[in-house]
Amino acid sequence: MKKLAVVALGGNALLRNNQIGTIQEQEANTRETLKNLIFLIKENYDLVITHGNGPQVGNILMQNDAGEILYNIPQMPMDVCVADSQGSIAYMIEKELRNLLKEENIEKDIISLITQIVVDKNDIAFKNPQKRIGRIYPKKEAEKLEREKSWIFKKSPKVKDGWRRVVPSPKPIEIFNIKTIEKIARSGAIIIASGGGGIPVHLSDNKFFKSSEAVIDKDASSSLLASKINANEFYILTDVPYVFLDFNKKNQKKLEFLNEKDAKKYLKEGKFGEGNMSPKIVASLDFIKNGGEKSVITEATKLEDKTFGTKITMEYENF
């Protein structure tokens, strides 16, 4: 049986921090990132692509703000904004990947799926929102929005008088259409799914699904998807070629290989920091604990060069 891989693209792989977000910038970034996936296709992997949406959904929220202020257009809720970003980003990925495959004379169907993901309405995250989203507001404006919209704000660590809206980030527990995703991927088509962590929904008291005003961590939902479709390998593409212990400190140390025992130890000791890397390590551990062969965290441009990247498995002897 061919190997099945899930590749998670970070939102910043499609829109750089120093860019304003034009469609030309995003299409060029998408194409450059996807070039690095061609070797997996040539090595006969079946492939599912997931992606982040942090910069993009932030821009959609700002468009919401501007539309309401200038033209009295009602703002859309968080789940609709996530769905909006899923569609637009998947469109870019599908179009640019189609062109790359055409250049390589490779014939493959590419299918983009709007993906809903179930969360627990009683998840503790709903009582303690932490995920910063959208633009930075002055304190007086943030207080006004808190009164008018019941939004919750936290101080921005980057701007002196800056406040950003925070929303819950609950744990994903179920992905709709998971059997169909696996079946299509195993048939040889490339699937784009679970964009932006997925559209969060919950089961209400009357047993119907309702939208959740939340965002789901992209790496957590990608890991769950990879496990549920019985993927062999899980790749998380980020902006560094390795995972480092004590990153950006004098004693930082790169990790080429990592097993479950040491990963848990370093997490407990706070060796990965509280930023973007800890969730990626947790997602990788969840994947291998649920039967995955290995997870790799690396920079997109280093994916084909197997001397790069931190390879995570249950035991070191599996490398």
Give the residue numbers marked as catalytic. Answer: 11-12, 131, 218, 280
CA distances from 315 to 228, 251, 261, 268, 295 (A): 22, 25, 8, 19, 12
Nearest residue to 56 via CA among 25, 97, 95: 25
- Pair of tokens at residue 313: 């498995």
Burial of residue 171 (CB within 10 Å: 0-12, 13-18, 19+) is middle
| Predicted local distance difference test score (pLDDT) of residue 19 | 83
Percent of the chain exceeding pLDDT 70 equals 97
pLDDT (mean) for 235-242: 92
- Pair of tokens at residue 274: 């509280």
* Cα(9)–Cα(51) distance, integer angstroms: 4
Q: What is the pLDDT of residues 293-312, one digit of tens each?
A: 999 999 988 999 988 999 99
- Domain assignments of the chain as residue spans, ordered by start: 4-118+175-318
Predicted confidence (pLDDT) at residue 274 exceeds the cutoff of 70: no
Q: What is the pLDDT of residues 190-211, one digit of tens each?
A: 999 999 999 999 999 999 999 9
Q: What is the pLDDT of residues 99-135, one digit of tens each?
A: 999 999 999 999 999 999 999 999 999 999 988 887 7
Are the C-beta atoms of 180 and 162 separated by less than 8 Å?
Answer: no
* Architecture (CATH level 2) of domain 4-118+175-318: 3-Layer(aba) Sandwich (3.40)
Predicted confidence (pLDDT) at residue 318 exceeds the cutoff of 60: no
| Predicted local distance difference test score (pLDDT) of residue 319 | 55
Predicted confidence (pLDDT) at residue 239 exceeds the cutoff of 90: no
Are the C-beta atoms of 217 and 275 separated by less than 8 Å?
Answer: no
Nearest residue to 168 via CA among 209, 203, 119, 135: 119
Residues in CB range of 116: below 8 A, 6 or more apart: 175, 176, 198, 199, 200, 201, 209
Nearest residue to 285 via CA among 313, 318, 244, 255: 313
Give the E-state strand segments of the chain in sequence order.
Answer: 4-9, 46-51, 110-112, 116-119, 131-138, 152-155, 162-167, 172-175, 190-192, 199-203, 209-211, 233-238, 243-245, 253-255, 257-259, 294-299, 310-313
Q: Which residue type is seen at 200?
A: P
What is the pTM for the complete model shown?
0.93
φ, ψ of residue 164 to 5 degrees: the values are -120, 145
Radius of gyration of the chain (CA): 20
Are the C-beta atoms of 56 and 15 separated by less than 8 Å?
Answer: yes
| Predicted local distance difference test score (pLDDT) of residue 275 | 60
Mean pLDDT (the chain) is 93
CA distances from 16 to 53, 155, 260, 274, 297 (A): 12, 24, 32, 22, 19
Percent of the chain exceeding pLDDT 90 equals 77
Q: How confident is the model at residue 28 (pLDDT cuts 50, 70, 90)?
A: very high
Return the DSSP state at 74: P
